[in-house]
Structure 1
Amino acid sequence: MYASRTEAHQHEKRRRKKKFRLLLTVNLMIIGLIIVAAAVWASMQDGGIFNKDNKQPTQNTAAVDDPDATQPAAEEDPVVSTDPVESSALDDSSAGGAANEEEGTKSEDDSQGGQSDQAATPNGGSTSSGSAAGDTVSLAFVGDILLAESVGDMMKQYGDEYPYQKARFHLSEPDLTAANLEYPVTDRGVPAENKQFVFKGDAGALPALKDAGFDVVTLANNHTLDQGVEGLLDTMDHLDSAGIDHVGAGKNDTEAFAPVIKEVQGIKVAYIGVSRVVPIGSWKAEKDRAGVAESYDTTRAKAAIKKAKEKADIVVVMVHWGIEKADLPEEYQRDFARQYIDSGADLVIGSHPHVLQGFEQYKGKWIAYSLGNFIFSAYPKEKQADTGVLNAVCTKAGDCDLKLDGMTNNLAQPKPLEAESAKALFDRLSTISFGVKLRADGTVVPK
């Protein structure tokens, strides 16, 4: 499945970035004008050229002669770090202000497809290669999403946009945002038997999910067929209607293993979804049977990755695997991730444990073993409340800088952590990662 990103859709993703820079520039210019006006007023008071008596001052006025006063730093261009590892995150209050600005205004260069002067990292820096804009793509990933059950109750009370309100900036800023959709979207179907948890959600929640910034979801998980094939087919239809691409499931195995390819700024990104957690064999997609793309054996997954790499610059594998609530991945997960990368994957993004797990780098490619829950319960307990948005800024060659924006989830609403709390989370993740660590700003780097 190939989904070319339209010019209007690309502009929608870049609009807030440009607006933030525009607001910053205008504010700095206003400050500069105020300082200049103050200097002119002082000159008038001291007998400057506009003084009605036209008297010459008897001594220099410090406010006029001070180069720092006449050439305020406010008129200079803001400095942008060229090292993504050292660049700090935008202050939440500034970011939120830019993100919540009224939707109507667009800069002139939007209509011409204008780009920023530097390629943005997850938080406003640039990639380590110093590439110009257009040479990188910013990708965001979150863990499990369930817009039903207790989360659905909160949405009925506060509105469909409620879950994303405190995280919207982090979801909408990247060029592409992806998640694991952990429930069928349907009002029909037959509930699966012999399962402890069986989910079902309403299609009315999907427009807000799209508006929050989500572009792609994987359906390769152990809840997609909670309402049978009927529920799966409804889910895919509703996602199509909402404009959200989906991978990892289909009317047959060909559809289930097929990638979605999104093109942004000349870079093609392929998403593939597979699951190593399938409740019963009949859930597996076959030639004549709808279902999910399974990866108990990596053969089909590796073939799909190789095929996608022929068509795309960057291949992302979103995989459902592991043990629930476990801090560390199983040994097979580390083995599978390497096989995926050897087959052409540039990023491997895991889900299913419902808690955050660590990171690893293999042959220069990144593995995130589990992104935990993002919006899954209104009342998560202990580590299940730890979450975040994982950002990857990637070159066309598939080299990525990785950074986690740490968050906590309470009452079905992820919100960014304060600096100290974020550092504590990053320190914990560093202890369960393999050969890498997270810095205080969430950047993932080799130890």
Structure 2
Amino acid sequence: MPKKQLQNYLCYVIMVAENKPTGGNDMKMLILGDISPTGVNAHLFREQNLEALFGNTLPIFENKDFIFANLECALTESDHAIPKFGPNLKAPAETAQVLATLGVSCVGLSNNHIFDFGIEGYQDTVAALHKAGVGYTGFGENYEDSRKTMVIEHGGQKIALITVCEHEYSYALEDRMGSRPFDEFDTPLDVREAKKTCDKVIVIYHGGKEMCQYPSPRLRKLCRTLIKSGADLVVGQHSHCIGTYEEFEGGHILYGQGNTHFVWPDRDPLWNTGVAVVYDTVTGEIEFISHKNTEVGITLVEGEEKEAIMAAFHDRESACKDGRWKDGWHDFCVKNKENYRRVLANAFAPGSTQREDDNFGHYLDCEAHTDVWRELYPTYNLTNEKE
């Protein structure tokens, strides 16, 4: 597979895709979702066994000018896990070489797991990526530094790649390194600024409610705002399931890509499927390639199973047009209401533990969780309510 020559491993530099497989001015991008080796296949990443890990999906990596993936873990052997709610994810350093062999040009570090093992884990990750020749974006020494936007140059085109995450654990602050967080004021501004000098702007948004196939009203509004600000494609990740899709004012919005390579037995069936996104930066055409987990890797979905997955996907696309997406979101929130009430009750109960208090704080800090709070406990304006 063609190697991409990277001018630098930091964001806000131009990455030039050389040895272009497609030729001409066409630029075919492959955008992948969450990649995180697990206990069932970490040894295969160490061995760099691509056949076992990727099977018949390998051809989709061919003839692409630029490949992006979200690295949903730290590449480290550190045991210094940070305190958090949810798993601390790490993987062998050889994972970076697996990605390089696949032809991955760049990984996103704007997510809620890159700091799972603190600064040590982050530094180990960057070292592994550097050694393998894989670029990265979406991380900085502080908040302003994290806002640097990657620009890809190919065939006379300039493509801006902006990766942001919601506020969970790893996000940068004014005086602390971390992932590039979404900001309702700054991120649309960053998109507008990028569009002044770039032909296309792609936003990777790491957020939304896990295991929910529909966007919240806030998420839908912000993704549409990014399109209005100049983005041509907005891809939602983090939800760990295939969501829905809509075209809006000439742009594309995917609310949930699902996992790309995150094999975790005994999870919700929705966890086990995802879509790879192929995007032509000249024509603006988009293609979705469905895949699923095997016992240790992934494989393309075929036949009736593929038809069923894509039919459900297109039905949710229709739901975005006729308003049914609101029902899907509301039903999801109601289904999870007791969990949210329990978090609230535990935090304010006499004798609550520090961890219970912190969990409530986490549920307030993260945008996806506050979306659920707002749906379950709306503030009613009864001024003009009809009797």
Question: How high is the TM-score relative to the length of structure 2?
Answer: 0.74
Q: Distance in 1 between matches of 2:247 and 2:17?
A: 33
Give runs of aligned pairs for residues 49-198 of structure 1, distance below 5 A. Answer: 115=23, 133-134=24-25, 136-156=26-46, 159=49, 162-188=52-78, 190-198=80-88
**1:299 corresponds to:** 185
Shift in Å at residue 372 of structure 1?
0.6
| Greater RCO (Cα-Cα under 8 Å, separation 6 or more) | 2
Q: Distance in 2 between matches of 1:261 and 1:158?
A: 30
Q: Distance in 1 between matches of 2:95 and 2:278?
A: 24
Q: 2:269 aligns with which of 379, 382, 389?
A: 382
**1:251 corresponds to:** 141
Shift in Å at residue 179 of structure 1?
1.4
CA contact 1:273–1:319 (8 Å) conserved in 2? yes
Shift in Å at residue 172 of structure 1?
2.7
Q: Distance in 2 between matches of 1:300 and 1:218?
A: 19
* Mapped pair 1:345 → 2:231: yes
Q: Distance in 2 between matches of 1:219 and 1:145?
A: 11
Give runs of aligned pairs for residues 28-47 of structure 1, distance below 5 A. Answer: none
Q: 2:245 aligns with which of 359, 364, 372?
A: 359
**1:404 corresponds to:** 288
Matching residue's letter, 1:294? P
Q: Distance in 1 between matches of 2:180 and 2:287?
A: 28
CA RMSD between the two structures: 2.2
* Residues 250 and 322 of structure 1: CA distance in aligned 2, closer, same or farther (over 3 Å): same
**1:215 corresponds to:** 105
Q: 1:332 aligns with which of 214, 218, 221?
A: 218
Q: Look at both structures and tell me which one has the larger radius of gyration over its CA atoms.
A: 1
Shift in Å at residue 147 of structure 1?
2.3
Larger mean CA deviation between 229-238 and 139-148 belongs to 229-238
* Residues 298 and 161 of structure 1: CA distance in aligned 2, closer, same or farther (over 3 Å): farther
* Mapped pair 1:285 → 2:169: no
Give runs of aligned pairs for residues 228-267 of structure 1, distance below 5 A. Answer: 228-267=118-157
**2:301 corresponds to:** 417
Shift in Å at residue 197 of structure 1?
0.4
Question: Which aligned segments of 4 or more residues in structure 1 are displaced greater than 6 angstroms?
Answer: none
* Residues 203 and 407 of structure 1: CA distance in aligned 2, closer, same or farther (over 3 Å): same
Q: Distance in 2 between matches of 1:185 and 1:251?
A: 19
Shift in Å at residue 225 of structure 1?
0.7
**2:341 corresponds to:** none
Q: Secondary structure at the match of 2:123?
A: helix
Q: Secondary structure at the match of 2:76?
A: coil
* Residues 217 and 334 of structure 1: CA distance in aligned 2, closer, same or farther (over 3 Å): same
Question: How high is the TM-score relative to the length of structure 1?
Answer: 0.65
Q: Secondary structure at the match of 1:232?
A: helix
Uncovered stretches (5+) of structure 2, i.e. residues with no partner: 1-11, 322-387
**2:195 corresponds to:** 309
* Residues 289 and 310 of structure 1: CA distance in aligned 2, closer, same or farther (over 3 Å): same
CA contact 1:376–1:412 (8 Å) conserved in 2? no
* Residues 370 and 349 of structure 1: CA distance in aligned 2, closer, same or farther (over 3 Å): same
Q: Distance in 2 between matches of 1:277 and 1:301?
A: 14
* Residues 414 and 173 of structure 1: CA distance in aligned 2, closer, same or farther (over 3 Å): farther
1:158-181 deviation digits (Å, cap 9, x = unpaired): 736632332111123221111111
Matching residue's letter, 1:263? E
**Percent identity between the aligned chains?**
25
Shift in Å at residue 142 of structure 1?
1.7
